[in-house]
Chains A and B, each alone.
Chain A
Amino acid sequence: MSHYEAPIREPLVLGDKSYHDITEDIAKPIEGKANKNWYIAFYISLAAMLWGFGCIFYTVGTGIGVWGLNKNIGWAWDITNFVWWVGIGHAGTLISAVLLLFRQKWRMAINRSAEAMTIFAVFQAGLFPIIHMGRPWNGYWVMPIPNQFGSLWVNFNSPLLWDVFAISTYLSVSLVFWWTGLLPDFAMIRDRAVKPFQKKIYALLSFGWSGRAKDWQRFEEVSLVLAGLATPLVLSVHTIVSMDFATSINPGWHSTIFPPYFVAGAIFSGFAMVQTLLGIMRKVTNMEDYITRLHVEYMNIVIILTGGIVAVAYATEFFIAWYTGSPYENYTYLSVGAATGPYAWAFYSLLFFNILTPQLLWFKKIRRSFIWSFIISIFINIGMWFERFDIIAIVLSKGHLPSTWWRFEPTFVDVGIFIGTIGFFFVLFLLYARTFPVIAQAEVKTILKSSGEFYKKRLAQGIPTKPTVVIAKKKITEVDSSDKNTKE
């Protein structure tokens, strides 16, 4: 993977790293012991997760009635959480697939965790369509599988069915893609492992990676093929999720701009979640040299872009609600009716968190600030949750017939399940951070010479890094080996 990069570009790897340094840095969290903070975070997440599971069992055992839903509002937190988690899952594939195809090297520091986040988020998302069913034990009926109910088949007209296909495809492709990328890194851990059990596990996980040239060649090919497969999924999944709403006849849902708007919103929220997670992870696992200000800035730029698309979509929705002149559009989630109605707080929360706060990122200082990015990313996460809540709850709360206007109030079970999924997500992520190579080290090593700080410095000093001169290459090898020697 030859790659030329102008020396004036900011380096993507800081800290004068050598190949071995990278290996060491990335293996450290796995081989070392977890610190106290990790345990605290883990136990809190575990407690939240168990509480959530308890709420889920209670729901399944007693009935959906333990939630705050009613005859007029059939969905609320369940589908809000579902769409929120699916949306979060979007950044991973975008980073690893689309950016791979576009040869954006900065993705290498973040793609592993972003994809992990994707998979864990899709786990959470996938829970909701199942548990929101009145009879989840019959949930398999939504699968077009041969059955003994006569010629009963699923309804291919239903967007919920498309969801089933979209989400399961997305999960499986993402998982395969993620795993493929992990193979060389698992092999690296395997080769370094001293404990036999650990060695065995990582040997299994790395599928017998040997590091031969043929392995690498196939690896590159598969990665590209999977990236090609995964790219349309970035667009399709949230398009289909948006169709749950867009194909309905509820004013405020029945909107043709939903697919692009939802995809943009998903990437927006996904990147925000990546910012949140990496903001913590780079500190906790000492990855400051790999996840740099530059990465943060790049991600913030994506956030501004997608946030802008979302803002334009909001404005369009608001305009259309007014422009139709239809009294039925008076109370859509973006309308004067919503702004003056009982859900005004949710309406303004949405505008504040999703439109106003991301605008701060136009300032370079804020965009490059770790702490600001972290705070804004959390705001966006909240805002995107409100977006889905507004779309679902506000629209359903003011249906066509005024006699059916109602409100929604969550019960402790609604809240418990949501918190439970956050707990579950972090449990998975924390376990991942302790057992998986959190940065695609094999890939980072490929850009070390073109985008590492050390090499950029040398280039600036006029020491050539490109071939033509054999000595230069030799020198570098010397440096490499000397480096190794000192360490050893």
Chain B
Amino acid sequence: MASNKKYWKSVEELKDSSVVETLSKNEFVENIPTDNFLGDKETLETSSTSRRDFLKYVGFTTAAASLAACEGPVIKSIPYVVKPNDVIAGVADWYATSMADGYDFANVLVKTREGRPIQIMPNKEANGTTSARVQAAVLSLYDEKLRLKEPSKKGETISWADADKEIGIELLKLKEAGKPVVLLTGTMASPSTSKIVDEFTTAHPNISHVVYDAVSEAAAADAFQAMYGRRALPNYKLENAKTIVSFGADFLGDFHGGFEKAYVQGRKPETGKMSRHIQVESNMSLTGANADKRIVAKPSDVVFSLINLYNAITKEGVASKATPIDSEIQKIAQELKKAGSKAVVMTGVNDINAQLISLAINRALNSEILDINNSLNIRQGNYEQVQKLVSDAKSGKIGGIITYNVDPVYSLENGADFAEALKNVSLKVAIAVENSATVNAMDYALPAPHFLESWGDTHFSEGNYGLIQPTIQPLFKTRQFQDTLLKWSGSSTSYYDYLKSFWSTEVLGGSSWNKALHNGFFQKEVALTEDGVETPRDISIAEVARILKMNTTPSGMELNLYTKTGLGDGKQANNPWLQEFPDPITRASWDNYLTVSMADAKEIGFSNPVKDNGSINGDFAKVTVNGVEVVVPVMVQPGQAKGSVGLALGYGKTFGLKEEMHVGVNAYPLYKGGNNIQYNVKVEKASGVHEFACTQVQKTIAGRHDILKVTSLKDYKTVDPKDHHHGWNKPAYVSYDHKEVEANTIDLWDEHNREIGHHFNLSIDLTSCTGCGACVVACHAENNVPVVGKKEVRVGRDMHWLRIDRYYSSEVETREEAKELGLSRGEMYEALETEAENPEVTFQPMMCQHCNHAPCETVCPVAATSHGRQGQNQMAYNRCVGTRYCANNCPYRVRRFNWFNYANNNEFDFNMNNEYGKMVLNPDVVVRSRGVMEKCSMCIQMTQATILKAKKEGRKVNTDEFETACSSACTTGAMVFGDVNNKEDKVAALAEDKRAYNVLDYLQTKPNVIYQVKVRNTNEA
């Protein structure tokens, strides 16, 4: 319906439509003077804007517009919409938790930044210690390559609900059929988990629980059980020990772990008390390297000498055999008897009889050091049950296998058999944090969270409980093993609730849960004396010795399998920090190798030539044990017993690992019967050349004894350190005005006033440093030190800011000795440079010395490195142009150059090349670009944070409040950091100590890092 209505907009339109019409035709009210503008020829001609200019303008504006459109990559930082309560951006939160991955057990503190754990430190209140592996575990959390991300069935994703349903049905079927199912886990040392497992196995009586440790300590546990009735590992109170004799027990290395603190506590020369440590061993272990006296014997001789020691102490005559070291053993017996109850003997021979003899010796000595009450609940693996499982599975007796965090396909001597046997098993479930060959062989792969994402509890030693709490939201669709078991047992409680109620009823005894959780640990009195467990059972040692002698059948070479400080049992083989971590003894990274004695190497024809690029090569050896053959590269090892070879477990893992981590040789197939000692080994030379990646090539100090000062306890007590002839801490002397004066009394330079404000010093006690390397990894984590990979380490480009130099002694130690021997100059150099066949070993942590007269500072053309007012030598990365002059002029060679871009570079596909790995980066420390120099900063980000914190709280910095990553990671207290201007700080006294010295003091660089002379207790008691 059309409307005839007319709407007018103004009176004019209504009255006089012609005006409106004209107006509506003109868009503009006034005429635009286009004609004026364009038609004015004159103006146009006089205008200086030619067409050419016009094009220029167009070009310019186009270019400007397009340039303005270009933007750098946008990195979005999104503020919290709702800020979590405890998270303050820029402020770290620390959580107390525990690590128990089946091999490493530690009470730790975890540093988180904005909800990401970035560092693990020992929980010193809980007497916790960390090793390189524990420190590095934080990076394994972010292993996006290896971690299981969602539940899967035969490679296909499956939902948790479906998996639960299917597995539940299967379990029910097997239960009804009465077919045995095995739950295979590592040692968890978790009381609540034990209870859950118990409940699970009670609900399913056909399910049995088998504990499997890749590296077995079963013999020690069994021996302890045989003697004391409880399956546990003996503990030792080494801090009270007067004499420690170890028969191949690497107690500072992998043997149970955590003894270094007590060991060092008992070795403080300034208190006048220092235990004497004698090590009888075949491989050069970390413990042997620290021993006051190291006696080299092949494994069979270690066993026999242990029996001989028993005979010498008890005057019994149990079956044994003479060894080349019997005279030494007699002396040891004397020393042990003298020390009486303050003496202890331990053995690392994984044989129940050897362990029993060791326990018996301790009983004979009445040793108070052997701590039976606080026995250890770790490494509870039962090797025999595992082997039974394999054979049962093979014969089809087993209906189902559920594994949790173990990788028997890789780490069993007969891993291939196990994989094969799995085909006969109908229900195969792997619950695991990380992918592995075993997970791959299973039908169901159920992801479990990393311990940093988990709840849990620990009970490492009797009376010492710990809690595990999550420090980050789970990264992937994981569910805790305990939750899974609870679910399968038909329970609806969550593990967290279960844990909490378990603790309140069974552990806490009325104490506060929150406090325990805050502290991360809970201690309980052990009251075991009443129930008779303490009374040892009588065991016929004569019988034990007879069996031991019968089993010890030395013939051919003897192989001593061991674990390396870096990789341990190989659980963290995909962790680049640990792969790059140089072995404390050989200083080789990214490898395992056959350690061969110098004598045997000469005989068979092995050598380690140094190549022109500075790196070391090695020959290959074919090692045959019981028909199993492996080909491994050879490292000639000083201090290795002739007739024995050593090989590290934990390498050669490849499944799922990054290409770069496919290093080393899997030695588990040689680990027959879970015994670390294998007799009747054939070692032959094989063809080929292996390329090692060693961070240190020269093995001795080459007569430069002012770098590394070592003395004996006797000299330390009786001789004046500065005595001109016999002094053990002689300062450097120079001639000044024709007089001999101490070098540090004269100076070319004007001093700054160092009394004002803070002045940082770091003291490193060479007596306390065991060389464990926890500080190296701590430094990695704190300072975002890049990993460079095997090829680059090989050519001498590792980036470690902190390294631990290892020196072997040589047969000829000083120039004076060489002169007395009448050696020519060339011969003298060779003698000083060549390591002894059975050398003493000394470790020397080396990092930027923060010289007050730093040679690096004067030579930088752009002043990129300069001195701070707090004693640090500072490095301004942004200013560095990379001439490397500073590195050349650094006598300590601690500066590290970024040869390439190590972050976001596919050539260096380590943690800094993926989004997950980058989460471990410390936001307080910049990631360096290529072409700049970097080095230890004395953790300036930490000292500044401490100062700021004190300032905010309106107080002075507390005594000993300053810390660096290395000093806080150092469990033995070898590294002490602090402010020398605060006389209360420990380091202030240490700087004045009579043992204190500076490395290369003759150069007068005046470092702020002080070393304390190493004291060895060489006095025979």
A interface residues, Cβ below 8 angstroms from B: 62-65, 68-75, 129, 132-136, 138-139, 141-142, 149, 152-155, 157-161, 164, 244, 247-250, 327-328, 330-331, 336-337, 339-342, 396-397, 399-409
Contact = CB atoms under 8 A, between A and B. Distances in A.
Contacts of A396: 888
A327 B887 contact: no
Interface in B269-306: none
17 contacts: A63-B900, A64-B899, A69-B884, A70-B614, A71-B797, A152-B862, A154-B861, A159-B859, A160-B885, A249-B889, A327-B815, A330-B829, A341-B829, A399-B893, A400-B1003, A401-B805, A402-B701
Given A71-B897, A249-B891, A401-B891, A160 B614 contact: no
Interface string B642-655: 00000000000000
A404 B701 CA distance: 11
B200 to A, nearest CB: 53
B885 A158 contact: yes
Interface string B837-853: 00000001010000000
Interface string B995-1008: 00001100101000
A378 B291 CA distance: 59
Given A74-B887, A158-B858, 7 more contacts: A71-B895, A134-B880, A134-B884, A158-B885, A249-B1005, A342-B612, A400-B892
A73 B884 CA distance: 9
Contact of A63 (B697, B700, B930): B930
B612 A402 contact: no
A71 B861 contact: no
Contacts of B798: 71
A327 B812 CA distance: 14
A57 to B, nearest CB: 15
A71 B884 CA distance: 10
B723 interface: no
B131 to A, nearest CB: 22
B702 interface: yes
A406 to B, nearest CB: 4
B796 interface: yes
Given A62-B900, A63-B898, A400-B891, A407 B612 contact: yes
B885 A401 contact: no
Max chain B C-beta neighbours (<10 A), residue from A68, A134, A159: A134
Interface residues of B, number: 67
Nearest to A141: B862
Contacts of B697: 405-406
Query: Which DSSP category, helix, strand, loop or mixed, fits chain A's interface?
Result: loop
B947 interface: no
B862 A402 contact: no
A405 B24 CA distance: 93
A154 B881 contact: no
Contacts of B1000: 400-401
Max chain A C-beta neighbours (<10 A), residue from B611, B880, B891: B891
Contact of B797 (A70, A132, A339): A70
A292 B897 CA distance: 52
Max chain A C-beta neighbours (<10 A), residue from B696, B862, B879, B896: B862
B863 A155 contact: yes
Given A65-B792, A71-B897, A134-B930, A400 B707 contact: yes
A7 to B, nearest CB: 56
A219 to B, nearest CB: 39
B839 to A, nearest CB: 14
B901 A71 contact: no
Contact of B698 (A164, A339, A402, A409): A402
Contacts of A75: 884-885, 888
B913 interface: no
A240 to B, nearest CB: 13
A153 to B, nearest CB: 7
Interface in B897-943: 897-901, 929-933
A339 B702 CA distance: 17
Contact of A401 (B707, B815, B895): B707
A134 B881 contact: yes
Interface in B695-721: 696-698, 700-704, 707
B613 A407 contact: yes
Given A403-B846, A406-B796, A65 B899 contact: yes
B698 A248 contact: no
B795 interface: yes
A71 B887 contact: yes
Given A71-B797, A160-B859, A327 B610 contact: no
Contact of B612 (A152, A160, A250, A409): A409
When A and B form their complex, which 10 residue pairs have the shortest distance between CB atoms, in order from nearest? A134-B882, A134-B931, A65-B899, A70-B796, A74-B884, A409-B613, A403-B805, A404-B893, A155-B863, A407-B614
Contact of B863 (A62, A154, A248): A154
B807 interface: yes
Contacts of A134: 880-884, 897-898, 930-933
Given A155-B862, A327-B703, A409-B614, A250 B797 contact: no
B115 interface: no
Contacts of A72: 614, 796, 893
B830 interface: yes
A135 B704 contact: no
A250 B889 CA distance: 6
B896 A71 contact: yes
A248 B859 contact: yes
B889 A133 contact: no
Contacts of A405: 697-698
B826 interface: yes
A343 to B, nearest CB: 10
A342 B544 CA distance: 55
Contacts of B929: 135
B365 interface: no
A249 to B, nearest CB: 5
Interface in B744-764: none
Nearest to B898: A134
A68 B795 contact: yes
Contacts of B999: 401
B899 A133 contact: no
Interface in B810-833: 815, 825-826, 829-830, 833
B882 A64 contact: yes
Contacts of A132: 883-884
A237 B933 CA distance: 28
B860 interface: yes
A70 B792 CA distance: 9
Contacts of B895: 71
A439 B722 CA distance: 70
Contact of A248 (B704, B888, B900): B888
Contacts of A158: 858-861, 863, 885
A155 B703 CA distance: 37
B807 A403 contact: yes
Contact of A141 (B614, B797, B881): B881
B186 to A, nearest CB: 37
A62 B863 CA distance: 25
B664 interface: no
Nearest to B814: A327
B899 A69 contact: yes
Contacts of B825: 336
B664 to A, nearest CB: 23
B881 A401 contact: no
Nearest to B705: A327
A327 B901 CA distance: 38
A408 B861 CA distance: 25
A190 to B, nearest CB: 36
Nearest to A130: B881
B415 interface: no
B829 A337 contact: yes
B855 interface: yes
A400 B851 CA distance: 15
Max chain B C-beta neighbours (<10 A), residue from A72, A161, A247, A408: A72
Contact of A64 (B826, B860, B897, B1003): B897
